[in-house]
Structures are given as C-alpha cells and as structure tokens.
Amino acid sequence: MSNDFPGWHGTTIIGVRKGGQVVIAGDGQVSLGQTVIKGSARKVRRLSPGGFEVVAGFAGSTADAFTLLERLEGKLEATPGQLQRACVELAKDWRTDKYLQKLEAMLIVSDGRDMYVITGAGDVLEPEHDVAAIGSGGNYALAAARAMMDGDRDAEQVARAAMAIAADICVYTNGNLTVEKIGR
C-alpha cells in the first residue's frame, strides 16, 4: 500500500463555557483527500453513564473516536461524577495500551462545569479563556470564539458564530452543525 493515500481529513469541534453553560459544537463534513464523503456526520454526542451527563465532541477517525468514547463511558461509570479523574484514566490507558496507542482522534468533553481536551499524547487539558477547539479548523474557531467572549453573546451564539467563521476558512469544515448544551 502506498504512503500517498490521502487520508481522512476534516472536522472542527469547539467547546465554549460562558454564563453557567457549556456548548460543544461540531461540523458535519467528512473528507477523503479532496472529496467530501459525507456532509452530515454527527461528531458531538451526549453520554449518560450512570445518570451522569457528559457531552463529547471528537475529531479524527470516527471508529477510533467511538472506541475512546466507549472507554470514557466505562471510566465515568467507575468514577461517577468525577469527569477529571475519568479523563486522566482514559489518557493513561490511551498512552500505555498497545491497541489504544494506534487510535487517531481527539476529544473535547464537558459535564457542564468542567471542560477538557483529551489527546493520545496523554494530555488532559483544561482550556484557558473558557474556549477549546480541535480539528482542522480548530485554530480558526478558537481565535474567533476568543474574540467574541467579552461580548453579549451567550455560549451557543459564540460557538455557532465561531464555527461559521471556521467553515468559511477551512475547506475541511462545513456549516452543518451538531450543537449540544450542558449546564450545571
């Protein structure tokens, strides 16, 4: 197999915490090389392990992300109400387990109070400025959202506007959004 395979690209996921609410939004585009394969993928999910509600958005391989989301649910069931601990345990497994090490995805997760970015490098990062973004258009969405945080817009309005800006700039991001809100 050639190393020139174009690979899967795309996705912009943003998490915005403002006014007691967290919004995680993601676009719907899945691309293979220069081709849009699907425009309506759902990359933001609501998890409810043991009645503890969490919202998660993912960038990267869909199958890999679903594997990580299942693992996160298991960690949340083992540590109910302790999102940070569950995220750290997932990141430890992701870094040390030979199967999980091959997974290519990133997650933004929130329980409505805390928000974290989890990576395969073992990172569990709490974002500064109450905004986190991942994926190919993540930096565009992050910059746009940070510029809007001091204004009158609520968390959802900031997330939607930032995603619209990212979709205008990043060819791997579209305007077909999935938006989930969670508050504590």
Query: Out of 11, 12, 79, 173, which one is annotated catalytic?
Result: 11
Residue type, 80: P
Element (H, E) at 21: strand 21-26
Give which of 33, 89, 25, 110 is closest to 59, Cα–Cα: 25
Residue 11 appears among annotated catalytic residues? yes
CB-CB contact of 172 with 8 (8 Å): no
CA separation for the pair 179, 28 (Å, rounded): 11
User: Which residues are known catalytic residues?
Assistant: 11
